[in-house]
Amino acid sequence: MPSPDPAPPVDHALERRVLARYAEELAGLPVEEAAAWLLRRLAAVEAMQVTARAGTRPREWADPGPAAVLVLEPIEPVPEAPLPTEVAVSCDDALAQEGFHDAETAEGGRSFRWIGPEPRATVFLPKVALPAEVRLHVHAAFCPEVLGDISVSIDEGPWEAALQEEGGARVLVARPRPGERPPAGATRLDIDAVRTASPLSRGAADARLLGLALWRIEARSLG
């Protein structure tokens, strides 16, 4: 059985005024009538509490006395603001992520992050209207031979291949079908970079496992 809600603080001055009113109402009544009056008043108070918890508000009291009948009016829900149709994040220190190495800065001053040490990583984008097209702006690929096999998933939906966009810039584009995760404060984007490898294997001193380096991620609504 669930425990009752904690009682709110009591306004003792208000409590004394209510008791004084009760004394006036009950003065001179026989015991049976006084008990019936108290039961009706208790039922009215409890009905108001249930009403408040159910999300309705009083509209009209037919009788202001203890036998009052409460007519209820449903509370209109506050409409939610429409979600943005386009969001973009830079892969810098502020990126909300899991599975990336620390942010680095390229010669031109642009920030980027390597996926690693595991080949799968997650980015938490601002909420965006779904379904959406995902665009991964690639800074570098340590294993360029797997660029055609990279895939993404939105809100734990099915994986979708991220294909390289034609043109000069390296941008991987996908239109994954969103999953059915409960609404949250962010859009979850999972990225599978297939595999990682270490620069040590190529004679460098960097022992990290690196996959794909990204400098910008975008999501554009398809709606």
> What's the pLDDT score for residue 47?
73
Contact 214, 136 (CB under 8 A): yes
> What's the pLDDT score for residue 41?
79
Q: Which residue in 55, 49, 50, 48 sits closest to 73, CA to CA?
A: 55
User: Which residues touch 41 (CB under 8 Å, ≥6 apart)?
Assistant: 22, 66
> What's the pLDDT score for residue 8?
56
- The domains of the chain, with CATH numbers, are 12-74 (no CATH), 86-221 (2.60.120)
User: b/e map of 22-46 (b: 16 or more CB within 10 Å)?
Assistant: eeeeeeeeeeeeeeebeeebeebee
Q: Could you give the count of Cα atoms lying within 13 Å of 122 in the half-sphere of its Cβ?
A: 8
Contact 152, 192 (CB under 8 A): yes
User: Which residues touch 148 (CB under 8 Å, ≥6 apart)?
Assistant: 161, 163, 164
The H or E element that residue 113 is part of is: strand 111-114
**Alpha carbon 126 to chain centroid, angstroms:** 10
> What's the pLDDT score for residue 66?
47
> What is the distance between the alpha carbons of residues 162 and 49, in angstroms, rounded to a whole number?
54
> What's the pLDDT score for residue 157?
96
Read off the pLDDT of residues 148-195 as tens digits, 9 standing for 90 and up.
999 999 999 999 999 988 776 799 999 999 998 766 789 999 999 999
> What's the pLDDT score for residue 195?
96
Segments in the chain below pLDDT 70: 1-11, 50-75, 168, 182-183
